[in-house]
Structure 1
Amino acid sequence: MAVLAAAALSAAPLTLGSGPAVAGPRAEAGPPAITPTPRSEQQRSDRITVTPSVTVVTGQASDPAAVRLTTAVLKAAGARTVTSSRHVPAASGSLTVYVGGPAENPASADALAALRTEGPSGLGAEGYVLALGRAAGEGAGRIVLSGADPTGTYYAAQSLRQVLPQRKTPGAQVRGLAVRDWPSTPVRGVIEGFYGTPWSHRARLDQLDDYGRHKMNIYVYSPKDDPYLRAKWRDPYPADQLAQLRELVDRARANHVEFTYALSPGLSVCYSSDTDLTALTDKFQTLWDIGVRQFAVPLDDISYTDWNCDADKAKWGTGGGAAGQAQAYLLNRVNERFIATHDGALPLQMVPTEYYDTASTPYKTALAGQLDKDVLVEWTGEGVVAPTMTVEQAKRAKEVFGHAILTWDNYPVNDYATGRLFLGPFHGREKGLAEQLAGITANPMIQPYASKLALHTVADYTWNDEAYDPDASYGGAVREAAGGNAEVERALRTFTDVNHSSPVNSVEAPELSALMKGYWEGSVPASRLKAAFVALRDAPATIREGAEPGFVDDAGPWLDSARSWGVAGIAAIRLLEEQRAGRTAAAWTVRQQLPGLIAEAKSYRYTDLNGNKIPVVVGEGVLEPFFAKVLDASNQRLGLPPQPTATTDLPVYNGNTPDRMTDGDDSTYFWSSRPPKADESVVVDLGGQQPLGPVTVAMGKSGSTEDYLHRGVLEYSSDGTTWHALGAEFDGKATWTADAPSGTTARYVRARATAGQENWLVVREFTVARPDRPTVSGGPAPASGSSLAAAADGVPETAYRAASAPAPGDALTVTSAAPRAVASVTVLRPDDATASKARVQLRVDGAWRTLGRLDGAVTTRPAPAGTNADAVRLVWDDGSAPPVVSEVIVK
């Protein structure tokens, strides 16, 4: 990367980050935690003292940014006066600090020798040695920052920032230390390459400072919705926007980050046109003039089967191979006419149109054979968002593309799932990957400050993949984001836990879900799970008070949703505990509140670039299923059958989880994030063996009418292993219904793909009717939007609401398919709708027997021992209020 010259220093603020806030000597447990993890870090037996006055010895070529950072770090550690000098001071009792490797500051070699510490000789680019200790006869000791090059020295200063304490007074004693370190990956950083609201200028400046702190060395400017990069790529930038780009370039250089400008002409370029070549290189020249030294030409997300000009078709013909030749032709000319003619220009980068796999194609073959070999090719892995990336895949990519590979890793980017925040660690990247790559760049989220957590872990992996531990790195990222505040750290940990999963890591809410699992198994008490929901409720307020304001702004609707899920979780635990204690009425009161609490948690929206209101998703696949299980447990205690639950082996798109197939709401849906393959399925678990009635699968939706199983079959099973066909294979319809033969019973029903397809899958509702369901008759007639059946549909959240007061003789009758043993009858009514009066009766051998009267929101009337009945009815009193019944439950 470019060497920082003194004249190029910008006025970038020296943000020291969250170094250890230690007021005295460090604990002796081990060396200080430096991130990214160094290759070698050894404690010494001696100590250095941060004295009131410190001398920083520099050489003629010492990196200015490293000197400035070192000075700031020393002052933050308690030094009152920090003096720079080109000369080694005479022996004194003050701390002396040497900044610069052998080529920058020759004095550092002697300083290391006095500490008997090996210098940076033999280290690769950007490697460094950091040593703290006392030579013979020294009082306060010395610190040496010696890089293999100026960037290495700057990185030594970033490590020193984490080693020295932060305190207001001098006198801190710090254990001696020797660090020898270098990066695994030559190019490490971030590509702002998403669709959606581009980052603000202020956020970009902040990001560049953050990259320097984490030893990342590249930032690729490629926001898809900057019109001057794509739609208006030929047009020059307005003066004010060019001035902002200049400020970014200067800030990047001050942080030893290479600002890379990526121009995307593919929507309209004529590859064979000299005019377009000139327009492209002229645009590059305007960026060169403000200091940019690295350029890229992304040709992703375009069509290469439709030419933008007839001349290209005449020159190369048609097809993928023709497109590869045309793109190579243009890029080679850019390489020849611009990169090669500008001294100091770094290698050109490009993104191929086929950027997401390693299948050999005519396009890739043409590109591999004709594109100049010094052009770096960007690649996203096996998939646009690759769940894993392996050494063998990277080797294959080099072979297929015939060039050095720079990964465009689509994590934690969320432009395809704008309802999510991906806050979990970088995951699924094999150790040793760096050896096969020219570099790794991560595509972040639309939310810049929220992206920092994941990008912290990307920095850790790319610097030292062998030492990388996702969970440990993630913990460090959360601690840093909390700025040393333990309460904020706990709150962030709680919040990030329910925003943890992503396409590169399917595990959501690892801490909360473990507590849920223990709760259902009986190993975790209710009080502990309730405490977790209290923490989730309270975490957003703590984050808003103490976290970085940019993070708070980015995460706003997700914080609101998390708080509401916490409130709902507290209510859910209370519901179950009230029922376990036998307080059915109190439990029913809480249960009536729960749907509203859940609805509030799901009500928050993110507003995207186009003004669309996107529902935010928190705790994907964990929170909503938990509440479904809570209701099932509540139902079981009430004597109701379990509600069906849905699962799938397909990945989920943007929070549209499988439980939405069985929620009774046709406006919600399950949506896969890729096309189904043969034998993949969606499954409904009925909760137990039961008779089967008609089965209906309603697929597709407005705007995605082709997202259904184009070839598939309905099947049923008792054990989830042995399956039987339910009707004929379906083909070419979005909604399918099958009638089970009379007497058929099963626990599971599934819709299975019998062939792969190109479209994703939407399932709005997957319903399995029960022929043994009771029927409801009588009156008064239901109000609009209600039904008689709601009084005995097994779902207390639905209710029969009468349109009028009962007429004389009106009764609501629930009739079973056959006589059954009855122990009791329970009638649930809303707390605010208990004015209607009625007698509760059972029909035994054709005669009605009165069990008692309705009384309050929960009425339970026992039946005489040995009672067999085929119906229950509520006989309304004359003059009673219009009745409302949530559920009639016969045990």
Structure 2
Amino acid sequence: MTPRLPRSRSPLFGAILAVLALSLGAPAQAGAAPPPREDPGTAPITPAPQSLTPRADRAVITGTVTLVTGAKADTAALEVTERALRDAGARRIVRGAGPVENRLTVYVGGPAEDSPSSARALKSLGLKGPEGLRKGGHVLGVGAGRVVLSGVDAIGTYYAAQSLRQLLPHRARPGAQVGGVAVRDWPATALRGVIEGFYGTPWSHGARLDQLDFYGEHKMNLYVYSPKDDPYLREKWREPYPPEQLAQIKELVDRARSRHVDFTYALSPGLSVCYSSDAEVKALVDKFRTIADIGVRTFAVPLDDISYTDWNCPEDEAKWGTGGGAAGAAQAHLLNRVNREFIARHPGAEPLQMVPTEYYDVKATPYKKALAGQLDKDVLVEWTGNGVIAPTMTVAEARQAREVFGHAILTWDNYPVNDYVPNRLLLGPFNGREAGLAGELAGITANPMIQPYASKIALSTVADYTWNDRAYDAGTSWNAALKEMAGGDARAERALRVFSDASYGSLLNKQQAPELAAQFDEFWSGDGDAGRLGRALEEFGAAPGVLRERLPERGFLADAEPWLDSAQAWGAATRTALDMVEAARAGRGAEAWELRRKLPELTAKARSFTTKAPDGRTMAVLVGDGVLDTFIEDAIAEHNRLTGVPGRPEASSSLGTHQDNTPARMADGDDTTYYWSSAAPQAGDHVGLDLRTVRELGGIRLAMGKAGSAQDYVHEGVLECSADGEQWQRLTAFSGKPEVTFTPPDGTKARYVRARSTAAQDNWLVVRDFSVTGAGVDVTGGPPPADGSALRAAADGDPDTVYRAARAPQSGESLTVGLGGTRAVSSVTVLAATAGATADVQVRSADGWRSIGRLSGAYTKVPGSTTADAVRLVWGADSGVPEVAEVIVR
């Protein structure tokens, strides 16, 4: 259901990525992670109970514990209870009929499990029983030397045991005291779980078994088996499973049942089904019968991500016609037959679930009208909210969905799924869902990431919300999820928090890396201290190593491997950038330049780690994007300011970004990289450059389109410039050509240059290069530049561009920088990319050329205290091949 990486782009896919790109750059908002909170006096239970009241009494974990159960005691609840007692220090657990003096007595079972002893024990504690609570509801009482677990049904008792597991301490010996508590609890919505419905490599069998254990521990009761890349669910839906694969599904079904999780089998015939065919209905029912034979009792028919404008057989068009209404009627016909001929005749089967082709928004359409009017009313309809990936979901929207679809709604919430952004981990909490939403729904399912173990952080918060949405706090739940995954190891927990902060942003969590971003903001505002930020960056860079050493959840490490590598490298790069700024501010120019020279390699390493997309492409992973990389860019800008150069222009776009082809790529001086929009330009859309200072404009180059996307350029547009970003001057118009070059009239000065579309178009936009050369800076001499370099790079205001000579200097050769007129010169600084060249630094005044110093190493700063109209470097006879990043005249 989530938009897979397409072989050909779609407007929907582009729109999603555009929103994502905008959201990650948005300011912090409610829902950003708060600082860690201290545990309350009573041990926390997650999900948060509907009611928890501390008592004045207590219970003590004795060496021997008496376990009192009903005749129909739930086996799973007993297993969880006994394991929790042993972990708390009990050495021997015996079955008994009642309390024994000086021994803890634990009562397990509610009315449905024929446990009158539990009812009497609750009464002795002054507590009401679970009667009247909804399915899964329970009472847990601790105090007066006893523990009582009583569910309204067996599932409720199992959930009470999961709560007890969290309340009891971990001790090696008996004697631990447990504070008295009364818990009365029930779920906010009936169905709570996970739908494995992403595109890409399906989870392994071992990962699925592990997930089912996790769902039981977190009181989730639904797992939907719907991996898009299982061919027997889609392309081969009519064919039976091979015996070994069917055996694995049976093992999953059995594990799910033992954890009180309903295993839902979701068959997706929409790619090829003939809705009117009796044979097709029989094939679908037969496939369901095979699955029912191994114990499945919950079934779904997803009809998402298919076309309903093209029929799979001519009989369907003959029967229903064409259009959305016809498709809705055909789908209702098929589903009703399955519902009546299989679900209704199969004892114990739960209500049929379906995913409509129009599975998002609440707009009334002919398709939805047909489905609402013709589909059997007991079928559950799945819905993703107002969008494929809905940033928010409200009570009002859920009511509208129920009305427009005419059925009970089960949400398919596309978080934390990442198949549409497979180079990201989405580790932030479930967010943006209004309190009270759960009560309007038949249930809530979450679509997880391709990475099962890394998904647990977000899924834990989903479980908290679905159980008790009115008490849900995203930050508190996120903290609890990190703590649980760290297994009680404080160092691992802190490292996991630091690492996860850099993958916090998503459509549901607007701020990326909220904690680290706040520290960067504090530093740049002047209120922060470099030492504190330095320690934070050291901690960030060290976090992957700590996790690899100490995190108990080893599957997370495998899932996150390239992101861990990238985070470690970003830690080194950002710390180097900070050291560079501090050295420059302290006047240690040579040290600052040496650190800056390291940054390209460090950032390249941070960006070098990759993962595979569902379509097989290799993609660079993203960690803290928009925060870590922006800090380095800001640090370079600060170094430029302190050194006295404007630096590389900053590129921007009013359009979104497709994948990781960011606006910065059109200003990086490399024609092989490019900015790629995520939508087609409309009139007024633009791409632009901030030159960082008002200066005279030289030649402007706008190179658009690329191989395979030759039409992705602005077809009708204008070049404009501005000194303030508000008032714009038209330079020239262009039409029908992907490459535009223009030289403004002499004396044209501006800080901002942009290319603006003047008409709407269908094609997206690719910009390989958008550059402006400076006027008034004249670099002459030699040696001649190497291929791909230029003399002007030695004094273009950007230390990141380098004049690289093609050879060593010949006798008498020099490199001359004209200043465009006579001006006061207080100093000349030469930044070299290598330290091998030697030269005499000279200035030209009315009296001719005179020497003011010698070029020594990669960084040279010599005082001028004169007026001059040019500076030159007269190369030494023993000079190596020159590589000059910038000649700076102040």
By the TM > 0.5 criterion, same fold?
Answer: yes
One of 106, 109, 124 as aligned partner of 2:119: 109
Residue in 2 that maps onto 1:506: 510
Match of 2:643 among 622, 630, 638: 638
- Residue type matched to 1:885 in 2? V
What secondary structure sits across from 2:461 in the alignment? helix
Cα displacement (A) at 1:740? 5.1
Pairing partner for 2:103 from 94, 98, 102: 94
State the one-letter code of the partner of 1:574: D
Match for residue 78 of structure 1?
89
Cα distance in 2, alignment partners of residues 605 and 780 from structure 1: 40
Change (3 A) 1:738 1:142: farther
Who is 2:840 aligned against?
Answer: 839
Higher relative contact order (CA 8 A, sep 6+): 2
Contact 2:122 2:129 (C-alpha < 8 Å) held by counterparts: yes
Structure-2 residue corresponding to 1:301: 305
Alpha-carbon distance between aligned partners in 1 of 2:103 and 2:497, rounded to the nearest angstrom: 42
Alignment CA distance shift 1:195-1:248 (3 Å): same
**Cα distance, 1:706 vs structure 2:** 5.6
Alignment of 1:434-833 (within 5 A): 434-547=438-551, 548-608=553-613, 611-648=616-653, 651-672=656-677, 681-703=686-708, 715-723=720-728, 725=730, 727-728=732-733, 743-751=747-755, 762-772=766-776, 774-831=777-834, 833=835
**How has the CA–CA distance of structure 1 residues 216 and 131 changed in structure 2, closer, same or farther, with 3 Å as cutoff?**
same
Are the equivalent residues in 2 in contact too, given 1:621–1:657 (CA < 8 A)? no
Task: Note the aligned Cα RMSD (angstroms).
Answer: 2.3
In structure 2, C-alpha distance between the alignment counterparts of 1:242 and 1:261, rounded to whole Å:
12
TM-score scaled to structure 1, two decimals? 0.91
User: For the residues of structure 1 that align with 2:654 and 2:102, how far apart are their CA atoms?
Assistant: 68
1:683 deviates by 4.6
Q: Extract unaligned runs of 5+ from structure 2.
A: 1-37
Task: Give the Cα separation in 2 of the matches to 1:164 and 1:756.
Answer: 64
Structure 1 residues 451, 346: CA separation in 2 closer, same or farther (over 3 Å shift)?
A: same
Distance 2:155 2:506 in 1: 33
Matches within 5 A, 1:334-483: 334-483=338-487
Q: What SS does the aligned partner of 1:823 have? A: strand
Cα 1:414–1:66 shift into 2, 3 Å: same
1:871 corresponding residue in structure 2: 870
- CA 1:69 to 1:758, structure 2 compared with 1: closer, same or farther past 3 Å? farther
In 2, Cα distance between equivalents of 1:121 and 1:705: 69
User: Given the superposition, is the C-alpha separation of residues 359 and 713 from structure 1 closer, same or farther in structure 2, using an over 3 Å criterion?
Assistant: farther
Cα–Cα, structure 1 residues 821 and 708, in superposed 2: closer, same or farther, change >3 Å? same
Is 1:58 matched up with 2:69?
Answer: yes
CA offset digits 1:759-798 (Å, max 9, x no partner): 65554444344434x1222111122232212212223233
Verify the 8 A CA contact 1:420 1:655 in the aligned structure 2.
no
TM-score, with length taken from structure 2: 0.91
Q: CA deviation at 1:565?
A: 0.5
What CA distance in whole angstroms lies between the structure 1 residues aligned with 2:410 and 2:706? Answer: 38
Contact 2:852-2:862 within 8 A present in 1 as well: yes
Q: Aligned pair in 2 of structure 1 residues 28, 277: CA closer, same or farther (>3 Å)?
A: closer
Q: How does 1:117-128 map to 2 (within 5 A)?
A: 117-128=127-138
- Identify which of 72, 75, 79 aligns with 1:68: 79
Match of 1:30 among 32, 41, 46: 41
Distance in structure 1 (CA, Å) of the matches to 2:227 and 2:406 = 27
Contact 2:673 2:768 in 1 (8 A): yes
> More deviation in 405-414 or 810-819?
810-819
Deviation of 1:815 after TM superposition, in Å, equals: 1.8
1:715/1:47 CA distance change after superposition, 3 Å = farther
Which AA in structure 2 matches 1:132?
Answer: V
2:648·2:800 contact (CA, 8 Å) conserved in 1?
no
Q: What is the aligned-residue identity percentage?
A: 61
> Which deviations, in whole Å up to 9, do the C-alpha atoms of 1:276-324 show, x marking residues without a partner?
1111111111110011111111111111111111111111122222111
SS at match of 2:126: coil
**8 Å CA contact 2:412, 2:445 repeated in 1:** yes
After the TM superposition, which of the residue ranges 47-56 and 666-675 deviates more from structure 2?
A: 666-675
* Letter of the structure 1 residue corresponding to residue 321 of structure 2: G
Question: Does the 8 A contact of 1:321 with 1:366 survive in 2?
Answer: yes
- Provide the rounded CA distance (Å) in 2 between the counterparts of 1:586 and 1:171: 61
Say which SS state the counterpart of residue 521 (structure 2) adopts. Answer: helix
Distance 1:650 1:110, change over 3 A: farther
Distance in 2 (CA, whole Å) between partners of 1:186 and 1:855 is: 75
SS class of match (1:383)? coil
Distance 1:758 1:413 in 2: 29
Aligned to 1:12: none
Supply the distance in 2 between the matched residues of 1:638 and 1:804 (Cα, whole angstroms): 28
Deviation, 1:830, is: 3.0
Q: Which moved more, 1:162-171 or 1:755-764?
A: 755-764
Could you say what secondary structure the match of 1:559 adopts?
A: helix
Match of 2:139? 129
SS state of the match for residue 70, structure 1?
helix
| Separation in structure 2 between the aligned mates of residue 743 and residue 376 of structure 1, nearest angstrom | 69
Assess, with a 3 A threshold, how the Cα gap between structure 1 residues 119 and 799 changes in structure 2: closer, same or farther. Answer: same
Tell me the distance in 1 between the aligned counterparts of 2:111 and 2:563: 50
Distance (whole Å) between structure 1 residues aligned to residue 751 and residue 871 of structure 2: 28
Tell me the CA shift for residue 752 of structure 1: 5.3
Tell me the residue number matched to 2:258.
Answer: 254
Aligned-pair CA distance for 1:732? 6.3
The CA deviation string for residues 796-822 of structure 1, in whole angstroms up to 9 with x for no partner, is 233222222222332111123333332
The CA deviation string for residues 838-874 of structure 1, in whole angstroms up to 9 with x for no partner, is 2212222483232222222222222124x1x332111
Separation in 1 of the partners of 2:379 and 2:587?
Answer: 73
What is the identity, as a one-letter code, of the residue corresponding to 2:326?
A
SS of the equivalent of 1:152 reads helix
Stretch moving more, 448-457 or 800-809:
800-809
Q: Equivalent residue of 2:780, what SS? A: strand
Contact 2:199–2:614 under 8 Å retained in 1? no
* Inter-partner Cα distance in structure 2 for 1:765 and 1:214: 51
Equivalents in 1 of 2:152, 2:585: separation in Å? 68
Deviations 1:556-585 (A, max 9, x none): 000000000111112112211222222211
Whole-Å Cα distance in 2 between the matches of residues 365 and 550 of structure 1?
Answer: 45
Distance 1:509 1:280, change over 3 A: same
Shift of 1:701: 4.5
Give the aligned partner of residue 851 of structure 1.
852
> Which amino acid letter does the alignment assign opposite residue 530 of structure 2?
A
1:315 aligns with 2:319: yes
Partners of 2:287 and 2:651 in 1: how far apart?
54
Moved more, 659-668 or 856-865: 659-668
Say yes or no: does 1:236 pair with 2:240: yes
Q: Residue 533 of structure 1 contacts residue 566 of structure 1 at CA under 8 Å; is this kept in 2? A: yes
Q: Secondary structure at the match of 2:651?
A: strand
Q: Structure 1: any 5+ residue segments left out of the alignment? A: 1-26, 135-140
Matched, 1:887 2:886: yes
